[in-house]
Structure 1
Amino acid sequence: MFETLIRGGTVVNADGLSRGDIGIVEGRVALIAPGESAEARTVVDASGSFLLPGLVDAHAHLREPGLTHKEDFSSGTHAAALGGVTTVLDMPTDEPWTATSEQLADKMAIAEGRLHVDVGLQAVVSRDLALVPHLLDLAPVSFELFTADVPEAFLFETLDSVAEALKAFADADTLIGISPGDQSILTGSMARDRSGTIAAFLDSRPPLAEAGGIARALVAAASAEARIHVRQINSELGVETWSRLRGMADASIETTPQNLLFTAQDYGAQGANLKASPPLRSPHDIDALRAALGAGLIDIVATDHAPHAPAEKAAPYPAFADIPGGLPGLQTLLPTMLRLVDEGLIALPDLVRMCSRNPAERFGLGRRKGRIAVGYDADLLVLDPRQSTTIANADQVSRAGYTPFDGWTVKARLTNVFLRGREIVRQGRLVGPAQGKIVTRER
């Protein structure tokens, strides 16, 4: 007998759609078969709905420890659950940054019992490369290496320093995320233009910096034989560089919904609420990015969920660049991707590929997350295409208190969310206590 049987739905995986009832035992998918008549303690009628694997957000900042006025494990994973994100991969830029094995262990302990979805933790690469082996012992889902706009202890601003850092992972079965900035361009542009305008902010982080950062990351990874993941591409020059060089190394790349759906012109309407890095680009850049997405050149879509307290975003600042960078996104990843489905740019299997299967496989969770298959965690979404969803500020549970997508409507509604076979969301509300766990990289 199954613990739960979900009947009548259409299963959506990255490789296509199929009809099938899903039987769940001990938190995992035990059977997928149409017209299953076996007994179950709980039967869910999903007739007419799509069944998707839970989303895996590969780039989020849950802000704990040290920055809990912006977000914490509980509030951030609450937002994730309501948005169908059943696994969050948390970045290491909290206070303190997660740079040592002790800090990583402390963060794991802090999260215990407070997670509404599963969370994988990422560690930062510091200039002290001797810390790497002890961090590897705790199996974080990945490491993060920064090339611009971070404290000196975490800055790798030259090709030599990036290559030397990647050599520390030569025999490690792990992934290194790289944000493709360029500290020299950032420093030079700030010296040339001190006006503090939006234009000055855009010039400090141009497509040239992104493209150069992508090329440097790929060349360094090829030299060191390292596995890398390039963060947040959003320019035509970046897309062209990636498309020409991506075969050089074992590499993947991501973008975000905001990079696909907003342009720099939208700063006029939303201002501080859209300020983040990299900056939003021109309509021409966004057209190139969307074309790359539709062509399958983008491996992962993640949110870079990076909330700030409303008062922080609303405060006056001497320059646009000084506004705290980042915006919420966990609760809106699914509806914004469904917007792209509604537009015909992608199909539902593409959504699953970029937001479930690929991030799970790339970040070391691919034997249990990212697809609906026998033996996998029963992280499941029930999506009803006969209903619609309107994104609203009033419904957001992140401590940011808003979404830049307020008022947008998509042609489907998330009705149920299951985490390892247990229903955690029903009709937009949490069900039951926090049941999420810390997940680590598969060895």
Structure 2
Amino acid sequence: MFETLIRGATIVNAEGLDRRDVGIAGGRIVALVAPGETASARIVVDASGSFLLPGLVDAHAHLREPGLTHKEDFSSGTHAAALGGVTTVLDMPTDEPWTATAGELSDKMAMAEGRIHVDVGFQAVISHDLSLVPGLLELAPVSFELFTADVPEAFLFQTLDAVTEALRNFGDADTLIGVSPGDQSMLTDSSARHKAGTIAAFLDSRPPLAEAGGIARAVLAAASTNTRIHVRQINSELGVKIWSRLRDLADASVETTPQNLSFSADDYETHGANLKGSPPLRSRQDVDCLRAALKAGLIDIVATDHAPHAPAEKAASYATFADIPGGMPGLQTLLQAMLKLVDEELITLADVVRMCARNPAKRFGLGQRKGRIAVGYDADILIVDPRKSSAIANGDQVSRAGYTPFDGWTVKARLTNVFLRGKEIVRDQVLIDPAQGKPVRRES
């Protein structure tokens, strides 16, 4: 007898669709039962007519704890994730303090215990003190993050030589290096040229050329050091073209975000501060190229870069557009934003699972547990009903940001239930079994 049996649904994995019932015990999927085959369980969930998706894995999120909890914290951020069907959040290291030492990483994991509503994997930052790397590796973070622009000096690797020398410390390590592509020289020089502080000046400070150069530098450095890298969110036509030409030179993957696929720089005029982030939004032509790359399978992962700020911070008056705090919420709307792309026939449900579950789980060392509905995997399962629509509204958001850039959208499907390791944690957009999440570590 199973603890839980989910009956009547169609399973969606990255490889395609399959009609099976799902038997769960001990937090894991223990059987995939053929339709009509006799099976019993203490709890039977009738999901007839619905799709079962593996819980999403958001590879790029800022939960803001420690030090920035007026913007978000472990509880509020993972609450948003749970409501959005993200059952594993991979938390970036840019808090206060930045997660740069073994002690800081260990403390952060301990802070999360008993307070997170979904599973959370932690990412560490590479600083100029490379002697810290072995101690961090012992704690098995899901990735290390390397920054090439727009960060404090202690974490800035702005030349090809600096990036290469840093990566040499990871050639034999079983880990992944996330690289945010950029060019500090362009950022510095453009700031000196432009004093107006306009949107146009902000765009000029972070042009597609800087992104493309950052991508090329990251891939070449990875190829020369035999390291595994993941290029953080790209969104320009030039960046996509450079990626498509160079990606096979190294063990490399790339991500983009729903906002980069949905908005252009023209939308700053209507959305203003709420859309301000980095990299900046691009032209409509860039967006179209990015969407074509997504459809063609050139984008490995779609992640949110969930980076909330307190409403008062976004609403304040700033001397320049560049001074507005960059970032926006995204955890609660990741699934809906991806389902919108399915509605538009740009991608399929299997593509959603590939880019938002299987690929991030595999890439970040969780691929033996997360990202698939298969025997032996964690029973992180979403029930999505295609017969019901869902609306995205600011008033429904539980992130401390208090808004979503996707306000007013309608999607032709509805997330009705969320299971985390076999326990139902969300039903009809209500968190019914809180604080069931656990910190997770890189396994392979």
Question: When the two structures are superposed, what TM-score results if normalisation uses the length of structure 1?
Answer: 1.00
Cα displacement (A) at 1:194: 1.1
Q: Distance in 2 between matches of 1:137 and 1:289?
A: 37
Summarize the alignment of residues 252-263 of structure 1 with structure 2, pairs less than 5 Å apart.
Answer: 252-263=253-264
Does residue 153 of structure 1 match 2:165? no
Summarize the alignment of residues 37-76 of structure 1 with structure 2, pairs less than 5 Å apart.
Answer: 37-76=38-77
Summarize the alignment of residues 225-264 of structure 1 with structure 2, pairs less than 5 Å apart.
Answer: 225-264=226-265
Q: Distance in 2 between matches of 1:35 and 1:409?
A: 35
Does residue 9 of structure 1 match 2:9? yes
Cα displacement (A) at 1:164: 0.2
Cα displacement (A) at 1:176: 0.2
Cα displacement (A) at 1:35: 2.3
Describe the superposition over 1:312-365 as per-residue Cα deviations: whole angstroms up to 9, x where unpaired: 000000000000000000000000000000000000000000000000000000
Question: When the two structures are superposed, what TM-score results if normalisation uses the length of structure 2?
Answer: 0.99
Cα displacement (A) at 1:432: 1.8
Does residue 293 of structure 1 match 2:294? yes
Q: Distance in 2 between matches of 1:383 and 1:25?
A: 22
Summarize the alignment of residues 335-350 of structure 1 with structure 2, pairs less than 5 Å apart.
Answer: 335-350=336-351
* 1:408 corresponding residue in structure 2: 409
Does residue 102 of structure 1 match 2:99? no
Q: Distance in 1 between matches of 2:302 and 2:443?
A: 22
Summarize the alignment of residues 17-28 of structure 1 with structure 2, pairs less than 5 Å apart.
Answer: 17-28=17-28
Describe the superposition over 1:382-433 as per-residue Cα deviations: whole angstroms up to 9, x where unpaired: 0000000100001000000000100100000000000000000000000123
Describe the superposition over 1:188-234 as per-residue Cα deviations: whole angstroms up to 9, x where unpaired: 11111110000000000000000000000000000110000000110
Unaligned ranges ≥5, structure 1: none
Unaligned ranges ≥5, structure 2: none
Describe the superposition over 1:68-90 as per-residue Cα deviations: whole angstroms up to 9, x where unpaired: 00000000000000000000000
Q: Distance in 2 between matches of 1:74 and 1:50?
A: 28
SS in 2 for 1:157: coil
SS in 2 for 1:168: helix
Q: Distance in 2 between matches of 1:322 and 1:276?
A: 11
* 2:191 corresponding residue in structure 1: 190
The percent identity for this pair of structures is 79
Opposite residue 180 of structure 2, the aligned amino acid is: S
Opposite residue 235 of structure 2, the aligned amino acid is: N
After TM superposition, where is structure 1 displaced by more than 4 Å over at least 4 residues in a row? Answer: none
Describe the superposition over 1:117-150 as per-residue Cα deviations: whole angstroms up to 9, x where unpaired: 0000000000000000000000000000000000
Q: Distance in 1 between matches of 2:246 and 2:408?
A: 39
* 1:362 corresponding residue in structure 2: 363
* 1:419 corresponding residue in structure 2: 420
SS in 1 for 2:259: helix
- Aligned-CA RMSD value: 0.5
Cα displacement (A) at 1:170: 1.4
Cα displacement (A) at 1:39: 1.3
Q: Distance in 1 between matches of 2:422 and 2:161?
A: 47
Cα displacement (A) at 1:36: 3.6
Summarize the alignment of residues 274-289 of structure 1 with structure 2, pairs less than 5 Å apart.
Answer: 274-289=275-290
* 1:307 corresponding residue in structure 2: 308
Q: Distance in 2 between matches of 1:245 and 1:435?
A: 41
Q: Distance in 1 between matches of 2:37 and 2:256?
A: 39
* 1:436 corresponding residue in structure 2: 437
Moved more, 371-380 or 425-434: 425-434
Q: Distance in 1 between matches of 2:37 and 2:422?
A: 17
Cα displacement (A) at 1:37: 2.4
Contact 1:20/1:35, CA 8 A, preserved across alignment: no
SS in 1 for 2:357: helix
* 1:393 corresponding residue in structure 2: 394
Opposite residue 200 of structure 1, the aligned amino acid is: A
Opposite residue 362 of structure 2, the aligned amino acid is: E
Contact 1:4/1:40, CA 8 A, preserved across alignment: yes
Q: Distance in 2 between matches of 1:181 and 1:305?
A: 19
Describe the superposition over 1:29-72 as per-residue Cα deviations: whole angstroms up to 9, x where unpaired: 01112224211010000000000000000000000000000000
* 1:83 corresponding residue in structure 2: 84
Q: Distance in 2 between matches of 1:439 and 1:108?
A: 9
Cα displacement (A) at 1:441: 0.3
Q: Distance in 2 between matches of 1:322 and 1:280?
A: 16
Q: Distance in 2 between matches of 1:289 and 1:317?
A: 31
Opposite residue 413 of structure 2, the aligned amino acid is: A
